Amino acid sequence: MIRTQLPLIITFFTGMLLIVTFFIPHKPFGDLEQRFLIWYSIISGFTVLLGLDSLVKYHLTKLKKEFNIHSFILLFSLFLTLILGFYSWFKFKTPFALNSPFMYLYTYVIIPLQATMFALLAFFIASAAYRAFRARTFEATLLLIAATIVMLGRVPIGSYIWKGIASFISTIFPKIPYEELAKKEIFALISDWIMNIPQNAAKRGIFIGTALGGIAMSIRIILGIERTYITK
Amino acid sequence: MKNLWSKLATIDRRIIYLLVFIVVALPMIFRMIMPIRVSREVQMAFSEIDNLKPGSIVMISIDYDAASEPELQPMLIAILRHCFSKNIKVILLGHWALGLPLGEMALNQVAKEYNKKYGEDYVNLGYRPGYTALMVGIGKEIRDFFPTDYRGIPIDSFPFMRKVRNYQQIDVLVGLEAGATGDAWVQFAGARFNQKIILGTTGVIAPDMFPYLQAKQIAGLISGLQGAAEYETLLKKAGSAILGMPAQSFVHLLIIIFIIIGNIGYFILRKRR
């Protein structure tokens, strides 16, 4: 009873109170909202500890069953980072002091590792674009053309290519002056139009949909209709 | 001939990887530079900071980590240079714990260039958990969430921080975003407290921010490495973004060439079948 009903009561009470504090920012409601926000911040801090606990427990259990190199590296890195962080904190008053061991680890291990992981995407994207970007249907062709124009319009080389095209056009049609045509930066102009008009229209539709979904879900949680967050 | 088209439609991925590596590495090795066209949204962001009076306060939120460093760190450095060159005070904080050391590195680098002192010209508040709660809470009183800076020094011991209580004293908020934190800044700090916001985002995130720009919910948008290069161009101080643009240009061109080759091969083979 308490395990299922009490969270529902707390959620309903808190949700309703926060709605009231939003519309009545004066005392005592205004102060109450700030207090709730501070509590939220404190609880968020504890969720990090909870995550740490789950992560360590999971990998320790895995290691106890049989030796797993990935789990070992994860736990070793985790505790090494923690130890260096605390050591830097005690010695330099902050782990972020530029000459601290923690920043050494950050600069020479974390930054290169994260940058490498992300940089690999460039290779995969190039390969995937070549394999998957085929004009099989009308929609796929539209996407392909739009993507190509945006890719050219967003980088300086697009200007060079356009200048080449402008030169070619003014050679065939001498009445069209090259300078005026080259200034137009057609790829950049079309790219801006794609980003500002069709892209924005689609994005707005998605945003409105997700916002309405978020509101509906919040109401369901406050009223206790949505109960999936309660462990049975 | 059929064999040629078939080969074009199925180029080994290792060849693609090698070509990508070459077109990225060569422009960087030879330090090529290309002229940068400045877009309206970056010009807006630049003008917003450029029009601030000396002594104004800019709050910069580091909402990225090392994975997005090549795109967002040049933006941070360019914005810091712009602020410090105009004697604008800077408050740094972040919602991504792993990104704050990057902020500290940039502050240390740029502050030295402009002879700026910690506590007098800039302050680093660090990271606090809470995300959206923090954004809303700062609207009432910043001390409720950041009573001290990242080293534990009370913020009231810094002269310019004594007058900062909430968003009303912050002239511009700059969010450097690699995720959805930019949306939250607009929704919570912008919509509720009318905070003027400029967003600097990775290229992937930028399309999500265009509706805010069009609706004037943000005062400027710096998107991706190109945006950072545009800001550096406006600042007339070349940095890693301007140097990185030729590599990005050639990779874009290479991908387009591959797409065209792939499609030609695909259509010819389909026609023959």
Asked if B32 has any chain A CB less than 8 Å from its own CB, the reply is: no
pLDDT in tens, A123-148: 998 899 888 888 889 999 999 999 99
Nearest to B97 by CA among B133, B125, B138: B125
Nearest to A203 by CA among B211, B199, B201, B224: B211
Question: Which residues 6+ apart lie within 8 Å of A95 measured at CB?
Answer: A84, A85, A88, A89, A102, A103
Same domain as B94, residue B174: yes
Residue B176 bridge partners (DSSP): B62, B200
Same domain as B82, residue B10: no
Same domain as B267, residue B222: no
Our CA dihedral for B35, B37, B42, B43, rounded to 10 degrees, sits at 100
Q: Would you say residue B1 has pLDDT above 90? A: no
> How many domains would you assign to chain B?
2
- Interchain CB distance below 8 Å, A34 and B214: no
A50-63: average pLDDT: 94
- The distance of B5 to chain A (nearest Cα, Å) reads 14
Same domain as B11, residue B52: no
Q: Which amino acid does the sequence have at A146? A: A
Residue B30 lies in a domain: no
B266-272: average pLDDT: 82
Residues 52-81 of B with CB under 8 A from A: 65-70
B198, B48 Cβ separation under 8 angstroms: yes
Half-sphere exposure at residue A45, Cβ-oriented, CA atoms within 13 angstroms: 10
B20, B101, B263: residue with CB nearest A106: B101
Taking the C-alpha atoms of residue A114 and residue A107, their distance in angstroms, rounded to an integer, is 11
B49, B212 Cβ separation under 8 angstroms: no
Same domain as B187, residue B143: yes
The per-residue DSSP string of A72-135 comes to: HHHHHHHHHHHHHHHHHHHHHSSTT-TTSHHHHHIIIIIHHHHHHHHHHHHHHHHHHHHHH---
Residue B34 lies in a domain: no
Nearest CA in chain A to B13: A127
Same domain as B11, residue B102: no
Q: In this structure, what token pair is assigned to residue B63?
A: 């909402």
B38-46: average pLDDT: 95
CB-CB neighbors (< 8 A) of A200 in chain B: 210-211, 214
Q: Report DSSP state, residue A70.
A: H
The domain spans of chain A are 1-66
- Interchain CB distance below 8 Å, B17 and A123: yes
B167, B189 Cβ separation under 8 angstroms: yes
pLDDT in tens, A213-224: 999 999 999 999
Q: Would you say residue A232 has pLDDT above 70? A: no
Phi-psi region of B39 (alpha: psi -120 to 50; beta: other; left: phi over 0): beta
Same domain as B115, residue B16: no
CATH number at residue B100: 3.40.50.620
A92-118: average pLDDT: 89
Range of the domain at B261: 2-21+248-272
A40, A115, A157: residue with CB nearest B67: A115
The pLDDT of residue B133 is 92
B86, B52 Cβ separation under 8 angstroms: yes
Q: In this structure, what token pair is assigned to residue B267?
A: 């259509």
Same domain as B66, residue B10: no
Residue B49 lies in a domain: yes
B13, B129, B255: residue with CB nearest A45: B129
So what's the ipTM on this one?
A: 0.87
Same domain as B167, residue B115: yes
Nearest CA in chain B to A200: B211
B228, B205 Cβ separation under 8 angstroms: no
